[in-house]
Structures are given as C-alpha cells and as structure tokens.
Amino acid sequence: MAGSIVNIEKGSKSFQNKVLFSDAQFSIQEGEKVALIGRNGGGKSTLLRIIAGEEELDSGSIVRRRNLKISYLTQESHFPEEKSILEALVENFAIRMGEQEREAFGKKVMQEIGLEDFYSPCKILSGGQKKQLALLAALNTEPDLLLLDEPTNHLDEEMA
C-alpha cells in the first residue's frame, strides 16, 4: 500500500436487497484526483460515506492511512435554522481546532463569500450560499483527502 491513502479490497455493499457494488477493488494515491461517475442510486454517495468512515462495507476491507485527515462534503449541507451561521460552520467543520482558532476559521470562511454578519441565523441563507460555505469550509480544513458529493448542487453559474 505504498503511497496509497485508501485501499479497498473485495468491497461489497447492498441496500434493501439491491447490490450497489460487489468485489470492488481500488486504491486512492496521495495527490490523486478521482471522479465517481454513475447513474442515480448507483451507490456513489454510499461509497463516499464508506471511505469517510461513516458507513461500513458489508464485506471486504478498507484500509485508510494512519492519521488520515478526511473532509467530506455531503450532498446536503447542514445549517440548522436556529443556529447562527458562524456557530454552524464551527460545529461542522472546525472540530479539531481550539476555540479561538475555530471562531477565526468560521469568520474567514464567511468573509470569503461576503458574509459579514457572523451571528445571522442560518435560515437567511440560500441553498447556494449553504453549499458555497460548506465547500469553502471543507477546503479550508486542509484535509489529506477531500470527498465531494455533488459539490455543485444548489450553486448557480456564478457561484460554481
């Protein structure tokens, strides 16, 4: 596994009696860019969740490099309406940072898209703004592996 940061051997996954993939075998090398292309419902998001460690294979094995820092941007960004934008950013993306560092991180990300009122409620954000904030936050965590699940959903042409 020299140079690989993720390695899957004979990986299989089913969902409600539907085989999503079976005997999958691949590795992701450091610095490599990989795109998953397939039909809707084909298991792409499930595979990303497995790589991120949020879901398990039914059979087979997955090995991630020790201390691998993964940032995973899901299809739907999580910004609870009752929380401030800054609070939601910090809770979702700055988990491993100290408190002062977390706040500075959140403010930096918000300023990158022109949001200056850090304590505004999330309910004022459009779907595109939520996606843009989540994408910027994921990139700013400086991960070893960045997993993007449909990163341009909810973005208009200008935002993308």
Residues 20, 93: Cα–Cα separation, whole Å: 29
E strand or H helix at 104: helix 99-112
- Going by C-alpha positions, the residue among 52, 50, 46, 48 that lies closest to residue 143 is 52
Higher pLDDT, 27 or 158: 27
* Structure confidence at residue 156 as a pLDDT band (50, 70, 90): low
In the chain, % of residues over pLDDT 90? 49
Quick one: average pLDDT of 3-11?
96
Note the pTM of the prediction, 2 decimals: 0.81
Give Cα separations from 31 to 34, 104, 144 (angstroms).
Answer: 10, 28, 8
Phi-psi region of 129 (alpha: psi -120 to 50; beta: other; left: phi over 0): alpha
pLDDT at 11: 98
pLDDT digits (tens, 9 = 90+) for 56-95: 999 999 999 999 999 898 888 888 999 999 888 888 776 6
pLDDT higher than threshold 60 for residue 160 = no
Any idea which fold 4-68 has?
Answer: Rossmann fold (3.40.50)
Question: With the CA atoms of 128, 129, 134 and 137 taken in that order, what torsion angle do they form, in degrees rounded to the nearest 10?
Answer: 140
pLDDT at 138: 83
What is the average pLDDT score of the chain? 88
Residue at 89: amino acid letter: L
Residues 56, 109: Cα–Cα separation, whole Å: 32
* Structure confidence at residue 157 as a pLDDT band (50, 70, 90): low
- Going by C-alpha positions, the residue among 50, 128, 141 that lies closest to residue 96 is 141
Half-sphere exposure of 71 (CA within 13 A, CB side): 18
pLDDT digits (tens, 9 = 90+) for 110-145: 898 888 899 999 999 988 888 888 888 888 778 899
Quick one: average pLDDT of 26-50?
94
Pairing of strands 70-73, 145-148: parallel
